[in-house]
A and B are shown apart, each in its own frame.
Chain A
Amino acid sequence: MVAVRPRRLAWRLAEVVEVVPETPRTKSLVLEVPGWEGHKAGQHVDVRLTAEDGYQAQRSYSIASAPEDERLVLTVDRLDDGEVSPYLTDVLMAGDKLELRGPIGGYFTWEAKDGGPLLLVGGGSGVVPLMAMIRHRAVVSSGVPARLLYSSRSYEEIIYRKELENLAARDSLLEVIHTLTRSRPEGWSGYDRRIDADMLAEVAWPPDKSPLAFVCGPTPLVEAVATALVGLGHDPARVKTERFGATGG
């Protein structure tokens, strides 16, 4: 086994290549990061903004792109009273520089060799690191069965909706299950409530299949789901969580 000595995290300047709208409230930032050494699906970066008077604000954003992708992509949810997210979604444009450091976090990561089956549970922008895992899985044509249970407020607010549809259509081992908590389109026959133990019992593999679970989103959702999964008999050591706090940033 080779011992790897990680380098101390350093801030670097990325260049914004493109800002891509995903939903009315979210945008993806496509970045060129000089010297980027790669990342694992599930990791995040810290982004730092500096005003002319030296004032700084810093937030963490999960990496949306697969490790195999050419460019680094972050998907940002715009919070109306946020300090950083409105800047990233409304002001930042191609050509601008963005200070960031990473990749960060070796705990909430998945690569195909980790196996599965893979249970991904996300709420709102909590789907971002899970999407990196799904994208990675697709790029390497992994045969690990995967299920994404994804909670959004409405159909229009489902991030990556089309891409998820396409990936699931092409891969019988990938299932995407949505639940819409605030409003549903006409004729919606899917789940229409917050994720709870009953829903998880229906969607998750039984504990004897020993799935690897990754749960990400607002803290209340993450805590409820993690507790429910353990209550259903899943091994706590195989349930990894990433809480976004009350709102996320």
Chain B
Amino acid sequence: MDELRLDGNAAAGTLGEVFSFEVTTAEYACGGCGSTGRLGGAMVYEVRELGTIVRCPSCDNALIRLAHHRGRYLVDLRGTRYLTTG
């Protein structure tokens, strides 16, 4: 059991810097297993200053990968089939 993983809420601040909609209630479809859910219920790995990784709670696929350094954001959404705002 991973003590380091958090819920989608934990990434809400960081994701809120990139997305202008309420992130935790947004619905995703996982590009790995196809399951859907709200980002608030996804697993978040805040890797210190390296980045934020949001994973599907069903299959661990990385839904969103986000890094922020030197004022630049990089967002990888390839693991998500879609995101739709609630």
Contacts and interface: CB of A to CB of B under 8 A. Distances in A.
A and B touch in their complex, CB below 8 angstroms: yes
Interface of A: 5-9, 44, 46, 60, 101-102, 104-108, 218-220, 223, 240-246
Given A9-B16, A101-B13, A108 B7 contact: yes
B20 A243 contact: no
A37 B86 CA distance: 21
B10 A60 contact: yes
Given A105-B24, A106-B40, A108-B40, A219 B5 contact: yes
B17 A243 contact: no
B7 A243 contact: yes
15 contacts: A6-B22, A7-B20, A9-B16, A106-B86, A107-B7, A107-B12, A107-B24, A108-B9, A108-B24, A108-B40, A219-B4, A219-B6, A220-B1, A244-B6, A245-B4
B38 A107 contact: yes
B20 to A, nearest CB: 5
Interface in B9-32: 9-10, 12-13, 16-17, 20-22, 24-25
Contact of A243 (B5, B12, B22, B38): B5
A93 to B, nearest CB: 26
Given A46-B13, A241-B7, A245-B4, A106 B20 contact: no
Nearest to B20: A8
B75 to A, nearest CB: 15
B62 interface: no
A30 to B, nearest CB: 22
Given A6-B20, A46-B13, A245 B6 contact: yes
Contact of B7 (A5, A8, A106, A242): A242
B9 A44 contact: yes
Contacts of B5: 219, 243, 245
A246 B3 contact: yes
